[in-house]
Amino acid sequence: MKPVYKFRVGIPKNDRLYPEIASLLNQASIWRDPSRRRLFVDLDKHNLSLIFGRASEIALSLSDGTLSCGFTGRDLILENGNDQVTEIMPLGIGKCSLVFAVPQDKASEPIGYWEGKTIATSFTRLAGEFFKRNGITVHLKEVTGGVEGKVATEEADAIVDLTETGTTLEANGLKIRDILLETETVFAAQKALAEDPRIELIKTRLTGVMLARESIMIEYMIPKEKLQDAIKVAGGQKSPTVAPIYGDDRYFAVRIVEPRNRENEIMDQLKQAGAVGIFSVLLNNTRF
């Protein structure tokens, strides 16, 4: 069997990215059967097929046109260097940095010190561009896996690699000298298909889910004379919804949407401003 649809979406199958992306797609009502035992899934409702593979494979398949769009790392897209692939939206998943890391006792050396040195990396294109911008020539040693150990084993003088916190680098006697790129998992597509309605559908629905996850709805009642004070405390991401209370003209009912990480802070401030009956509501989806 083969995928039915030529419009194909790459989904990473690795344990770290898969659950988060599958959860987003499920909440967005794009894909409600998150089984990764399959090689592909045809979604008849949306006229597209989901293709499962490693993030690096997805980036390559976007570059060669095998996939129409997909989820992969910004770093992997740029490493392939195909300007016909465009980032549609970041997902805030798997954030990390591509860095030039050097032995701790060499961290203060000028960039020229690294002329002719051996640099271990799996990102030869991005690393090469970095050193070229800095006007030096190095020997790039392409490696995969365990890059941070190549200095300790004397296989390289320094490295270019991905890091989230830098702690693994420090444990191997390395220090970040330069940050080449801030990266994360993104939804990307072939440029020629960027305006396709299916791309817009996925983007719109994912944006709605992500905004909902970051937001909270807060509802409360406030005496009329204190309404403006409450709005100053929290006016919502848009304007607040204000309505009279049936049978009680002393109060207004107010509804606002605020960042979820400010939920308790805002509720405390509203109480101090004179609000009563304050409660918060989780959002499942949004369209702003």
161 and 275 belong to one structural domain: no
Mean pLDDT over all residues of the chain?
93
pLDDT (average), residues 68-77:
97
Residue 255, domain CATH: 3.30.70.120
Q: Which two tokens stand for residue 64?
A: 């060669």
| pLDDT of 9 above 80 | yes
Look at residue 288 and tell me if it is in a domain: no
pTM for this entry? 0.89
pLDDT value for 210: 95
167 and 130 belong to one structural domain: yes
pLDDT value for 237: 79
Q: Report which of residues 201 and 33 the model is more confident about.
A: 201
Look at residue 194 and tell me if it is in a domain: yes
| pLDDT of 36 above 80 | no
Look at residue 258 and tell me if it is in a domain: yes
- What is the side-by-side order of every strand in the sheet holding 69-73? 40-43, 48-53, 8-12, 69-73, 174-190, 85-103, 158-163, 118-121, 139-142
Range of the domain at 76: 8-94+185-212
C-alpha distance from residue 117 to each of 73, 120, 140, 143 (Å): 28, 10, 8, 16
How many whole angstroms separate alpha carbon 180 and alpha carbon 75?
Answer: 10
Look at residue 2 and tell me if it is in a domain: no
Sign for the pseudo-dihedral over CA of 51, 57, 63, 66: negative
pLDDT value for 229: 92
| pLDDT of 37 above 80 | no
Q: Is 170 helix (H, G, I), strand (E, B) or coil?
A: helix
pLDDT value for 35: 65
Look at residue 33 and tell me if it is in a domain: yes
pLDDT value for 104: 95
Percent of the chain with pLDDT over 90: 85
**Ranges 38-52, 165-179, 229-243: which has the least confidence:** 229-243
Residue 108, domain CATH: 3.40.190.10
pLDDT digits (tens, 9 = 90+) for 244-256: 988 888 999 999 9
pLDDT digits (tens, 9 = 90+) for 86-137: 999 999 999 999 999 999 999 999 999 999 999 999 999 999 999 999 999 9
Q: How many domains does the chain have?
A: 3
Look at residue 3 and tell me if it is in a domain: no
CB 132 within 8 A of CB 111: no
Q: Report which of residues 34 and 249 the model is more confident about.
A: 249
Task: Return the amino acid letter for 209.
Answer: V
pLDDT digits (tens, 9 = 90+) for 126-137: 999 999 999 999
pLDDT value for 85: 96
Task: Return the amino acid letter for 13.
Answer: K
205 and 73 belong to one structural domain: yes
